[in-house]
């Protein structure tokens, strides 16, 4: 057996006041780990600057969100910061009546792509230190980076290439 890694810089989410994790498709994989780690540290941390944590996940199919429902089920009781999960279905222009208003196991699903400039501006309203981490398709990550810089946020690309 051969194990390599981890690679890249180590990011402590508790060093920032506001954190937005952005995942596109299978880019959710490292973001699930980051979210769960932040929650575990938040429950046990003595000192943390983190005041808010948000996950924005974009997928082509609403069914993709349900596959990670167990991993993303967060017990927020006792956390010193709120956790919000925003789901976007990029290939859905509308939801059929039998599907309801775009609801999944993890919560409401918005049809279309997210407006990163609006999201980051909202998260950065109080002038707090905002950190944006993104993993997903190159075009989405580039759009995130541009929006993060226009919101005066710190940005880190967690995408990988094989």
Give the SS3 label for residue 124. coil
Instruction: Beginning with the edge strand found earlier in the chain, give each strand of the sheet holding 18-24 in spatial order.
Output: 103-104, 107-111, 83-89, 52-59, 18-24, 130-135, 154-157
> Distance between the two ends of the chain, CA-based, in angstroms?
20
Least confident range from 5-14, 36-45, 58-67: namely: 5-14
Report the distance separating Cα 109 and Cα 92, nearest Å: 10
Check which CATH number belongs to the domain holding 133 and give it. 3.40.50.80
Establish how many alpha carbons lie within 13 A of residue 37's alpha carbon, considering only the half-sphere containing its beta carbon: 12
Length reported for the chain: 162
Provide the domain count of the chain: 1
Sign of the alpha-carbon torsion through 88, 94, 96, 100:
positive
Establish how many alpha carbons lie within 13 A of residue 71's alpha carbon, considering only the half-sphere containing its beta carbon: 16
Report the distance separating Cα 59 and Cα 62, nearest Å: 7
Report the distance separating Cα 81 and Cα 48, nearest Å: 10
Give the SS3 label for residue 133. strand
In this prediction, residue 101 carries a pLDDT of 45
Examine residue 3 and state whether it is found in any structural domain, yes or no: no
For residue 100, what pLDDT band results from cuts at 50, 70 and 90? very low
In this prediction, residue 91 carries a pLDDT of 81
In this prediction, residue 133 carries a pLDDT of 95
Beta strands 18-24 and 52-59, pairing class: parallel
Examine residue 97 and state whether it is found in any structural domain, yes or no: yes
Examine residue 145 and state whether it is found in any structural domain, yes or no: yes
Transcribe 31-64 into DSSP letters.
Answer: HHHHHHHHHHHHHH-SS----EEEEEEEESSHHH
Examine residue 44 and state whether it is found in any structural domain, yes or no: yes
Residue-range definition of the domain harbouring residue 101 = 13-157
In this prediction, residue 162 carries a pLDDT of 59
For residue 156, what pLDDT band results from cuts at 50, 70 and 90? very high
């Amino acid at each position: 057996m051969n194990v390599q890694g981890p690679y890249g810089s180590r990011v402590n989410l508790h060093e920032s006041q506001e954190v937005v994790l952005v995942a596109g498709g299978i880019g959710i994989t490292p973001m699930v780990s980051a979210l769960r780690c932040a929650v575990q540290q938040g429950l046990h941390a003595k000192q943390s600057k983190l005041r808010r944590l948000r996950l924005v996940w974009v997928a082509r199919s609403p069914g993709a969100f349900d596959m990670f429902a167990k991993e993303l089920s967060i017990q927020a009781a006792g956390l010193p910061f709120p956790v919000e999960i925003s789901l976007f279905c990029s290939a859905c222009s509308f939801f059929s009546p039998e599907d309801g208003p775009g609801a999944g196991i993890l919560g409401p699903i918005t049809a279309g792509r997210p407006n990163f400039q609006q999201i980051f501006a909202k998260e950065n309203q109080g002038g707090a230190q905002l950190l944006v981490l993104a993993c997903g398709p190159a075009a989405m990550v580039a759009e995130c980076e541009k929006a993060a810089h226009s919101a005066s946020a710190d940005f880190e690309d967690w995408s990988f290439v094989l």
